Structure 1
Amino acid sequence: MMVHPSSPPVVTDQPSTARFMVEPKNGTWSSRIFDCWDDKEICCLGFWCLPCLACQVSSMFGECLCLPLLDILSAGPVSSVAIRSSMRAKYHIQGSIAEDWLLAVFCSSCTWCQLAREMKLRQSQPS
């Protein structure tokens, strides 16, 4: 059989479906709130320079880089709660605004670390 030079190449191998990271279950976070040591780089950044991590997560999520700085200027963690609840809505993760608020107030570093791990996992997976 003769193939015309302008015809597209014939695919003989299918793409691999191997995944190196565990895909999160629908409705759950990929890691728990206190699983900070699962990613030591994120954990260290969250501990030593939380504003840097928060701005990085905000930017990765498609929001303004400076949005987390509102937490410093406002009476509460408004940007932390907003990004966490938006991420839950986008990835169909169960939870509530009350839970987001409590975690952002009492475990701010762990909350931002969890958001960073989620973004890192979701962006590394093929769509």
Structure 2
Amino acid sequence: MDPTKPDTNQQEQYGAPAPPDSQPPATGIPVSSAPQYPSNYPQPPSGARVAWSTGLFDCFADAKTCCITFWCPCITFGQIAEIVDRGSTSCGTSGALYALIAYFTGCACFYSCFYRSRLREQYMLEQSPCWDWLVHCCCETCALCQEYRELQNRGYNMVLGWNGNLQQQNRGVAMAPAAPTFEQGMTR
């Protein structure tokens, strides 16, 4: 495709020639480079990094999640990965991959630190107390618990997963009432 000539398909669709360096066509999924915050969460200044809502070693603030993560970190990781990936991978798939990596290599922390980095970028979180890979290599359970709590504090119900959270959010949207129906009596 010659970048100096406008795309006639886009020209017909939008009524104007497309610039040569234009974005790919829309997929129907809203994409924003800015992090998304619930309305009850404090809004940071533009471009500023914010602190995590809980500390790395606040694991026992949620004892149930701490126990699950200690005994079976693949469950917690799967739930985190599904939310961070915005539903493109399921909790089961991510958790199973984490478990396989842990079983065969013992280095699932390198896989999970990738998701910590993505979570930090999505919500403009500080890299603290140190690099993501070091946090996960030294304190895997604490790191997963912190990420889980962060998503919970941002309004996600981790048990529902991405699609469940979307459905729950969409239920809050007002819908037009349906036309009334009337029961009819017996007719001949």
Identify which of 98, 114, 131 aligns with 1:68: 98
Which letter maps to 1:120?
Q
Shift of 1:59: 1.5
Contact 1:71 1:78 in 2 (8 A): no
Identify which of 104, 116, 119 aligns with 1:87: 119
Q: TM-score, normalised on structure 1?
A: 0.67
Q: Which residue number in structure 2 is paired with residue 8 of structure 1?
A: none
Which letter maps to 1:83?
Y
Q: TM-score, normalised on structure 2?
A: 0.48
Identity, % of aligned pairs?
A: 30
1:37-48 to structure 2, matched below 5 A, reads: 37-48=60-71
Please give the root-mean-square deviation of Cα atoms over the aligned residues, in Å: 2.8
Higher RCO structure, 1 or 2 (CA under 8 Å, sep 6+): 1
Could you list the per-position Cα deviations for residues 7-58 of structure 1 after superposition, in whole angstroms to 9, with x for gaps in the alignment? Answer: xxxxxxxxxxxx6xxx467411010110011112211211222111111211
Flag structure 2 segments of 5+ consecutive residues without an equivalent. 1-39, 45-49, 158-168, 170-188
Could you list the per-position Cα deviations for residues 35-86 of structure 1 after superposition, in whole angstroms to 9, with x for gaps in the alignment? Answer: 0111122112112221111112112223533253464255742321111011
Aligned counterparts of 1:123 and 1:61: Cα–Cα separation in 2: 13
Flag structure 1 segments of 5+ consecutive residues without an equivalent. 1-18
The question of 1:59 aligning with 2:89 is answered no
Q: Which residue number in structure 2 is paired with residue 116 of structure 1?
A: 148
Larger helix share, 1 or 2: 1
Q: Whose radius of gyration is greater, 1 or 2?
A: 2
